[in-house]
Amino acid sequence: MRYTAPQEAWESEVDVRGDVNALATLIAEGGALVLTGAGISTDSGIPDYRGPTSAARRHAPMTYDAFVGDPVARHRYWARSHVGWPQIAGARPNAGHRAVASLQRAGLLRGVITQNVDGLHQAAGARDVVELHGALDRVVCLGCRATPGRTEIQQRLTALNPGFGAPASAINPDGDAELPDAELDRFTMAACPSCGDGPLKPDVVFFGESVPRPRVDHCFGLVEGARSLVVLGSSLTVMSGLRFVHAATRRGLPVAVVTAGPSRADAVATVRLVDGLGDVLPGVLDTLGLPDRA
């Protein structure tokens, strides 16, 4: 299954079903599989793709074909990513991430799958998080398959581009910053530290790229062993995450969705909330008598 670019947002009224107590009751039964999207990280300063924080983005997310096939597009991506990375690296978990970790520590979750690439679930203390779309703190060489860390590559880029720090007008969820076109031409790329060539690619799944099959199969296995599916901060516009909702409904599992605006799971959700995750998830912890700690 390929990770396809998002379509235009659809217009729809969200039919709210249930409340924080209903969500807490569902999770208290145990075996909940959590699936998170960009909306859980907005309170950490990372914008989402389709919500209010995405409004300033001018260019579409990078596609896999453009990255591997167009050296100019790849150059522009790394220039923007070099500027955007410090904001991603400096982001800290928010109350939503901490709540997911607390629910996991309490033994109430079957697992955590995230569509995000920011690493904030792990920073909050969650364990065995399935990073469906990879992680920005890792880099892979498409030539020799070496996997240097992003910190090392960032240091190399900084050394190659002294003084390159044009102010970014916006940062996208994948760390891809908005930069004036005039700034892009003076950026120098970094070669792979292992083979001296490349190209280097962040270890994330770009739009149009396939999620590794073993990772997908592992997620389907988590659905098989779950008692419910709880979607947090995702409109499920792309099939990459929506397929797990389909799998859950085929098994007759209850589905809860908490996200701003409509989602593609609204028709099947037994619990559907539009309140902010920074309010809903701490409310769930309070209802269950669980602590909020990193």
The Cα–Cα gap between 235 and 49 comes to: 10
Residue 194 amino acid letter: S
**Pair 19, 272: CB distance under 8 Å:** no
Residue 123 amino acid letter: A
- 56 class by beta-carbon count within 10 Å (0-12 exposed, 13-18 middle, 19+ buried): exposed
**Pair 143, 95: CB distance under 8 Å:** no
Give DSSP secondary structure letters for 15-59.
--B--HHHHHHHHHTS-EEEEE-GGGSGGGT---SSSGGGTT--S
**Pair 208, 198: CB distance under 8 Å:** no
Q: Is residue 97 among the annotated active site residues?
A: no
How long is the chain?
294
Structure tokens at 220: 């389907």
Question: Which phi and psi (to 5°) does residue 256 adopt?
Answer: -115, 140
3-class secondary structure, 271: strand
Residue among 59, 82, 133, 246 flagged as catalytic: 133
Q: Which long-range contacts (CB under 8 A, 24 or more apart) does 104-109 make?
A: 106/288, 106/290, 107/30, 108/27, 108/28, 108/30, 108/31, 108/32, 108/288, 109/27, 109/31, 109/32, 109/33, 109/34
**Pair 133, 3: CB distance under 8 Å:** yes
**Active-site residue list:** 133
